[in-house]
């Protein structure tokens, strides 16, 4: 099983939307435990994640008309593990592996492409296009060249055929287009005025619309893939909570499953709430509290363990994300709630955006650690 990370942490409009007069983000925040887990092609999707996952970021969504309903409704800080829901049969290993290949693609590529897109759109007005008066230097845009694109294509063509296959292949096509354009001469390594007169402008005007087309192709595919992955992992993670409790009881495997599900719901629901014109601080506090109730309980269990046991009662990586990442999320939650209490103005908006990005960044780091967790046979 692999967890997926969150990509677009900003609650505001994308840069091009801002320049066109929009102030709110129109996208869906996908959480890493956004929480899901990522697995490479052919990797297992069971209780033993094979290795460290790379982050993935989320896509903007339509602004919800009312308070979002998470996959498991939590009106108070009552932990998600208390919820019971009848679920369908567990997917087979090939289906899990296929979904893991989607998550691998999202986690490894979306953040880099999103950052590249933001760089271009922050320096050139997307509505007007290049004026050639921009005094800028753009980085050359290289897509993966280590065989990953071929690996993605191979894994996405594996059986069974699933609904997002075509969308995921479009994402890979966009990455290939990016690699192709990055190998051509372009306005990447020279400043305006330092090359042959007119050459820089010509290269910029040629590259810009092609780059926008690549970004659009990737985003359209990503949107469909993320929606499918969200629905799939919601059910998977809830099933994991229920089956782990029955098989192992309330021990570390169960705590891990509960953290996975609650963390994802926290990131997703708070991200949706922050995109409202008037976010509800109490709702946001409750979602943070529900997550921290599980992390605090897990750490208390660890601190009560007797020393010098023959077998470690939990994977050592547990301590990394509980000691390093969770305190950072807590500090970010405090800062975010303080920002929400400020007088509404641009300074408040900027601080909310900054604090939320910090929370998502710490959460994504936690997911990196969680993707390394592998339980030994005797560990419950």
Q: How much is the pLDDT for 8?
A: 53
Distance CA 29, CA 278 (A): 18
Contacts by 131-139 with C-beta closer than 8 Å and gap 24+? 132/192, 132/200, 132/201, 132/204, 132/205, 133/192, 134/192, 134/204, 135/191, 135/192, 136/191, 136/192, 137/188, 137/189, 137/190, 137/191, 138/186, 138/187, 138/188, 139/188
- Answer with the residue of higher pLDDT: 27 or 329: 329
Distance CA 16, CA 21 (A): 9
* Tens of pLDDT, residues 207-245: 889 989 999 999 999 999 999 998 898 888 888 888 889
Q: What is the mean pLDDT of residues 298-303?
A: 90
3-state secondary structure 132-152: CCCCCCCCCCCCCCCCHHHHH
Q: What percent of the chain has a predicted confidence (pLDDT) above 90?
A: 36
CB 255 within 8 A of CB 297: yes
Q: How confident is the model at residue 326 (pLDDT cuts 50, 70, 90)?
A: very high
pTM: 0.66
Distance CA 236, CA 1 (A): 9
Q: Any alpha helices (H) in the chain, and if so which ranges?
A: 15-19, 93-123, 148-156, 165-182, 199-248, 252-274, 281-303, 317-320, 326-340, 346-370
Distance CA 191, CA 50 (A): 45
Q: How much is the pLDDT for 24?
A: 29
Give the domain ranges of the chain: 15-370
Distance CA 37, CA 216 (A): 25
- Answer with the residue of higher pLDDT: 139 or 183: 183
Q: How much is the pLDDT for 197?
A: 58
Largest Cα–Cα distance of the chain, in whole Å?
74
- Give the other-Cβ count within 10 Å of 78's Cβ: 14
Per-range mean pLDDT, top range of 60-69, 139-148, 247-256 = 247-256
Q: What percent of the chain has a predicted confidence (pLDDT) above 70?
A: 71
Q: What is the mean pLDDT of residues 247-265?
A: 91
Q: Residue 298's Cα: distance from chain center in Å? A: 24
Judge whether residue 102 has pLDDT over 50.
yes
């Amino acid at each position: 099983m692999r967890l997926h990370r969150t990509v677009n942490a900003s609650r505001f409009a994308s840069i091009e939307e801002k320049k066109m007069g929009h102030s709110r983000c129109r996208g869906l925040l996908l959480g890493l435990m956004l929480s899901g887990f990522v697995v490479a092609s052919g990797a297992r999707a069971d209780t033993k994640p094979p290795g460290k996952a790379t982050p993935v970021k989320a896509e903007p969504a339509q602004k919800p008309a009312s308070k979002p309903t998470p996959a498991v409704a939590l009106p108070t800080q009552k932990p998600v593990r208390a919820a019971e829901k009848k679920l369908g049969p567990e997917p087979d290993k090939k289906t899990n592996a296929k979904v893991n290949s989607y998550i691998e693609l999202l986690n490894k590529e979306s953040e880099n492409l999103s950052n590249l897109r933001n760089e271009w759109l922050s320096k050139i007005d997307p509505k007007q296009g290049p004026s050639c008066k921009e005094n800028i230097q753009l980085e050359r845009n290289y897509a993966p060249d280590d065989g990953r694109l071929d690996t993605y294509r191979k894994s996405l063509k594996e059986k069974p055929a699933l609904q997002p296959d075509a969308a995921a292949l479009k994402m890979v096509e966009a990455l290939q287009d990016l690699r192709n354009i990055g190998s051509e001469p372009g306005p990447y390594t020279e400043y305006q005025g330092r090359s042959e007169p007119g050459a820089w402008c010509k290269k910029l005007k040629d590259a810009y619309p092609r780059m926008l087309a690549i970004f659009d192709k990737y985003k359209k595919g990503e949107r469909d893939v993320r929606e499918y992955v969200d629905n799939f992992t919601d059910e998977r993670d809830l099933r994991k909570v229920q089956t782990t409790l029955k098989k192992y009881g309330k021990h570390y495997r169960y705590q891990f499953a509960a953290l996975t599900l609650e963390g994802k719901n926290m990131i997703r629901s708070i991200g949706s709430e922050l995109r409202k014109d008037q976010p509800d601080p109490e709702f946001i506090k409750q979602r943070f509290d529900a997550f921290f109730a599980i992390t605090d309980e897990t750490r208390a269990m660890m601190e009560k363990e007797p020393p010098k046991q023959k077998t470690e009662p939990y994977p050592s990586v547990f301590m990394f994300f509980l000691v390093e990442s969770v305190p950072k999320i807590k500090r970010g939650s405090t800062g975010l709630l303080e920002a929400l209490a400020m007088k509404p103005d641009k300074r408040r908006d900027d601080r909310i955006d900054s604090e939320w990005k910090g929370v998502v960044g710490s959460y994504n780091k936690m997911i990196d650690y969680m993707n390394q967790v592998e339980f030994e046979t005797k560990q419950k």
